[in-house]
Amino acid sequence: MKKLKTNLLNFIKDEKKLAAVLVILFVLQIIPILYLGQFNHPTSDDFLYGKAAHDMLVGTGSPIQAVQAAIDGVKDDYYRWQGSYAALFFMRLEPTVFGEACYAVVPYLMIGLLTLGTLYFVRTLCKVVLKTESLHYISISMLVLMLCIQFSPVASEQFFWYNSSVYYNAFHSFLLCYLAWILRYLFLGKKRYVVYMALFGIILGGGNYISALTLAILQGMAIAGAFLYQKCSAEKGKIYQRRAVALTILWLEFLACFAVSALAPGNAVRAESTWGYGPVSSIIHSLIQGVKYYEAWTDKWWLLVALCLLPMMVQLIRKTTFSFAYPGIVILFLYGIFSAMSCPTFYALGTTGPGRIINIIYDAFLLVTYIQLFYLTGWIYRKWEVIFEEKISEEKTSVGKMADASTTLRQQLGEALQKACAMMIGVLILILVVSGSFLDVTTITACKVWIKGEAKQYDLEYKERLAQLEDETISDVVFAPYTVEPDLVFIADALEDPEFVNNREWADFYGKNSLVVRP
């Protein structure tokens, strides 16, 4: 047992091996999910938003004309339905526009974007903000992504349904990249990040309002922090003043784009069919909802990953000179930002919103809470360092011995924490295995759908329907109901009523008079 603990501690300290193993585990867990992509098919609003570009591509064979049709559709939506122009543009170029088989790319695209955004953001925190050369950013990202994917509140809408996932999951990933560019520009001052932010400010300003509001707040706080640091630092004052001014211009650009989206005439039309709270009430409900999310999601799986992260956090803290001076302020600020993500839906709908919104809130929860844990751990570690230094000083040792003793105490503290975490991880894994809590994770669900053959059967039945839709001699389509509705790849179906929205959108996409599913 002692040898096993020693090997485990040495493994945790070996950053390359740990990162390599976690990357392999991450790839292995997404293989069954990506495999289902070949059985994935469009549904519901995919047909509505993709129709114009699809018709143009079929009629002219020109991708450029298809893109122009998508732009024209966005203009129409702006006045009739909603103002999020960038998201609508991506939605109108859904994969089926270019061919039915192209829809298989959706899980690859969405998991890829989430992975890219998370990895880049965490790398920025570790290498740029903390100024360490540690590879633990890879391991931390892999562990967080595993939770994001395995416990996605509605994984089908986050990784398989394009219309939903591009509007929320993709823009959440764009947000993480933009936040990383803000930090990189503040700390490094490289001009290329200004170009990136100028471009993605236009995109995020026309995206979903959860990501847009989050960016508006965080970018404003970054600017305030830069101006404050400029006043406090005589040495780098002018440098940070220039960076703060540049960020302010970028912020105004983003806010202008956000205003264009929010003030769209279509939003007023859509608001007539919805009801929400007032501004103050929305904020109060959001703060309360934040507590509920913390209670629901700080579970045994969150704890297991936290225990895995703690030894890595301690190693990062030891390698950085960051002070972690204001834990209370930072923790409350991050909680406020997290809670603010619920404001748009409370304001517009009077609820927390559908599962596709909860997905990105959950992903943000993981990053926020682990950053809070890291900051609190850093503050405690710095306090312990002070206590140890004082005790050593009281013993009146020589300077050399004092440094050696201090280093030894730090190493002992780190090893003690690693041993405690290793023991708790072992116990917690045993509890999770015995309780069967791992049986409902996304990868296991994908394996069940795969092994039972449900996805293949669904794919076969969909293609039988597709043959009718592509048959020009059939104008009124009657489908047999699906015999299976597999998790993840199945989202929704048409009904008996030919005027039901799904029926109408599907029929219009393929140029049919009507479409029904017989009882």
Q: Identify the CA nearest to 418 among candidates 18, 99, 16.
A: 18
Please give the distance of CA 223 from its chain centroid, rounded to a whole number: 24
Reported as a pLDDT band with limits 50, 70 and 90, residue 393 is low
Mean pLDDT of 419-435: 60
DSSP string, 180-227: HHHHHHHHH--THHHHHHHHHHHHHHTS-HHHHHHHHHHHHHHHHHHH
- The Cβ of residue 434 has, within 10 Å, a number of other Cβ atoms equal to 8
**For 66-104, how does the pLDDT look when each residue is reduced to its tens digit (9 = 90+)?**
999 999 999 998 998 888 999 999 999 999 999 888 999
Give residue 10's pLDDT.
58
Give residue 337's pLDDT.
95
Q: How many residues does the chain have?
A: 519
Reported as a pLDDT band with limits 50, 70 and 90, residue 4 is very low
Does residue 412 carry a pLDDT above 90? no
Reported as a pLDDT band with limits 50, 70 and 90, residue 268 is confident
Mean pLDDT of 170-192: 95
Mean pLDDT of 314-332: 90
Whole-angstrom distance, CA of residue 223 vs CA of residue 226:
5
Does residue 424 carry a pLDDT above 80? no
Coil, helix or strand at residue 516: strand
Give residue 73's pLDDT.
92
Q: Which two tokens stand for residue 481?
A: 């109901």
- The Cβ of residue 101 has, within 10 Å, a number of other Cβ atoms equal to 10
215 or 492, higher pLDDT: 215
Q: Which two tokens stand for residue 391?
A: 């005790």
The dihedral built from the CA positions of residue 114, 118, 121 and 124, taken in this order, carries a sign that is negative
Q: Identify the CA nearest to 48 among candidates 108, 96, 105.
A: 96
Reported as a pLDDT band with limits 50, 70 and 90, residue 394 is low
Percentage of the chain surpassing pLDDT 90? 63
Torsion of CA 281, 286, 288, 289, to 10 degrees: 140
Mean pLDDT of 242-254: 93
Give residue 256's pLDDT.
96
Give residue 434's pLDDT.
55
Does residue 3 carry a pLDDT above 80? no
Whole-angstrom distance, CA of residue 169 vs CA of residue 158:
6
- The Cβ of residue 341 has, within 10 Å, a number of other Cβ atoms equal to 26
Give residue 358's pLDDT.
95
Residues 6+ apart with CB under 8 A from 107: 33, 34, 36, 37, 40, 159, 160
CA-to-CA dists, residue 377 to 19, 28, 131, 333, 371, angstroms: 22, 31, 18, 17, 10
Give residue 214's pLDDT.
95
Q: Identify the CA nearest to 168 among candidates 355, 366, 367.
A: 355
Q: Which two tokens stand for residue 357?
A: 């919104």
Put residue 495 in one of left, alpha, beta given phi > 0 → left and psi -120 to 50 → alpha: beta
Give residue 430's pLDDT.
61
Amino acid at 508: D
Q: Look at 14-23, 90-99, 165-174, 285-294 and tell me which has the smallest mean pLDDT.
A: 14-23
Mean pLDDT of 397-407: 51
Give residue 518's pLDDT.
87
Coil, helix or strand at residue 498: coil
Does residue 285 carry a pLDDT above 90? yes
Mean pLDDT estimate for the chain: 87
Strand partners, 514: 476
Whole-angstrom distance, CA of residue 175 vs CA of residue 117:
8
Q: Please, are residues 392 and 402 in contact by the beta-carbon 8 Å criterion?
A: yes
DSSP string, 464-491: HHHHHHT-TT-SEEEEPPPS---TTT--
CB burial string 374-402: b at 16+ within 10 A, e below: bbbbbbebeeebeebeeebeeeeeeeeee
Work out whether strand 514-517 and strand 476-479 pair parallel, antiparallel, or are unpaired.
parallel
CB hemisphere CA count around 338 (13 angstroms)? 26
Quote the longest CA-to-CA distance of the chain: 97
Whole-angstrom distance, CA of residue 49 vs CA of residue 70:
8
Q: Identify the CA nearest to 293 among candidates 261, 258, 339, 360.
A: 339
Q: Which two tokens stand for residue 25?
A: 């585990």
Give residue 288's pLDDT.
94
> What Rg do the C-alpha atoms of the chain give, in angstroms?
26
**For 105-162, how does the pLDDT look when each residue is reduced to its tens digit (9 = 90+)?**
999 999 999 999 999 999 999 999 999 998 999 999 999 999 999 999 999 999 999 9
Strand partners, 515: 477
Put residue 99 in one of left, alpha, beta given phi > 0 → left and psi -120 to 50 → alpha: left
Q: Please, are residues 325 and 127 in contact by the beta-carbon 8 Å criterion?
A: no
Give residue 87's pLDDT.
94
Mean pLDDT of 422-433: 60
